[in-house]
């Protein structure tokens, strides 16, 4: 069995939640639909989940429930609605949402933009996280921005990761379903793989 997956039975035992809670959280959008992966086993069809992501998400939900927060408010916390947010580049830096370096990369690519809306803030935030690793150049950061701009809408209906790969000094960036297993040849180096849902949650926390 794939070590990156956890069965529904094991998940319920490990976290102490019930079957009903799991599917109630699914209906509320607290646990994404695409995390429920159906696979054939020797006993028939079973449901599995991406191990690290679902365990971390349930721990977050349980922590918020301990603070007596409603499910609707928890849903907002883990999947924040940022559609109406708009910040100037200066405000984004002042509030610690993104760094000056990320803003400069964004502004070099989109000089006409005066205020960053949700999608643009998310793109700048993801780029900032990559630049902070020290493994990603400014040009590669611009490539990430371009990929997010072109593919963001396609990821609205499913959970996606932004993936940055370098081979022989040339970078390639793509968006892939979070549950997809990507295989590269031996000459390629995976620089980063960032889950956009997790990035959205982190961005929401900074904006609140």
- Taking residue 100's Cβ as centre, other Cβ atoms within 10 Å add up to 12
Structural domains in the chain, sorted by start: 5-78 (1.10.1660.10), 86-207 (no CATH)
pLDDT tens string 141-155: 999 999 988 876 666
Question: Residues 77, 119, 158, 13: what is their CA dihedral angle, to the nearest 10 degrees?
Answer: -20
| Residue predicted with more confidence, 34 or 163 | 163
**b/e map of 61-87 (b: 16 or more CB within 10 Å)?**
beebeeeeeebeebbebbbbebeebeb
pLDDT tens string 157-189: 567 889 999 999 899 999 988 878 888 888 899
Question: Residues 95, 198, 56, 54: what is their CA dihedral angle, to the nearest 10 degrees?
Answer: 160
- Residue of 137, 120, 207, 206 lying closest to 173 (CA atoms): 137
What CA–CA distance (Å, rounded) separates 69 from 129?
A: 29
Amino acid 3: pLDDT: 75
pLDDT grade for 44, boundaries at 50, 70 and 90? confident
- Residue of 170, 172, 169, 167 lying closest to 187 (CA atoms): 167
pTM of model > 0.85 = no
pLDDT tens string 133-143: 888 899 999 99
Asked if 58 and 17 count as a contact pair (C-beta separation under 8 A), the reply is: yes
Q: Which residues contact 1 (CB under 8 A, 6 or more apart)?
A: 7
Cross-strand pairs, 193: 163
Q: Could you give the C-alpha distances from 181 to 14, 174, 177, 194, in angstroms and in order?
A: 25, 13, 9, 14
Amino acid 1: pLDDT: 59
**CA geometry: angle 47, 204, 83, nearest 5 deg:** 95
Amino acid 30: pLDDT: 86
């Amino acid at each position: 069995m794939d070590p990156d997956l956890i069965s529904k039975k094991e998940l319920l035992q490990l976290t102490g939640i019930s079957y009903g809670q799991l599917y109630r959280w699914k209906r509320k959008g607290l646990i994404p639909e695409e995390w429920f992966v159906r696979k054939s086993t020797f006993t028939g069809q079973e449901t599995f989940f991406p191990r690290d992501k679902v365990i971390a998400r349930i721990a977050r939900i349980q922590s918020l429930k301990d603070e007596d927060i409603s499910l609707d408010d928890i849903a907002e916390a883990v999947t924040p609605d940022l559609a109406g947010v708009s910040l100037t580049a200066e405000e984004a830096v002042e509030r610690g949402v993104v760094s000056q370096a990320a803003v400069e990369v964004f502004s070099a690519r989109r000089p006409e933009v005066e205020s960053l809306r949700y999608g643009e803030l998310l793109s700048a935030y993801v780029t900032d996280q990559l630049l902070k690793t020290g493994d990603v150049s400014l040009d590669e950061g611009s490539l990430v921005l371009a990929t997010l701009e072109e593919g963001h809408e396609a990821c609205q209906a499913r959970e996606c990761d932004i993936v940055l790969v370098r081979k022989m000094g040339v970078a390639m960036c793509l968006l892939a379903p979070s549950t997809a297993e990507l295989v590269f040849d031996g000459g390629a180096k995976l620089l980063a793989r960032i889950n956009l849902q997790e990035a959205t949650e982190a961005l929401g926390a900074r904006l609140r």
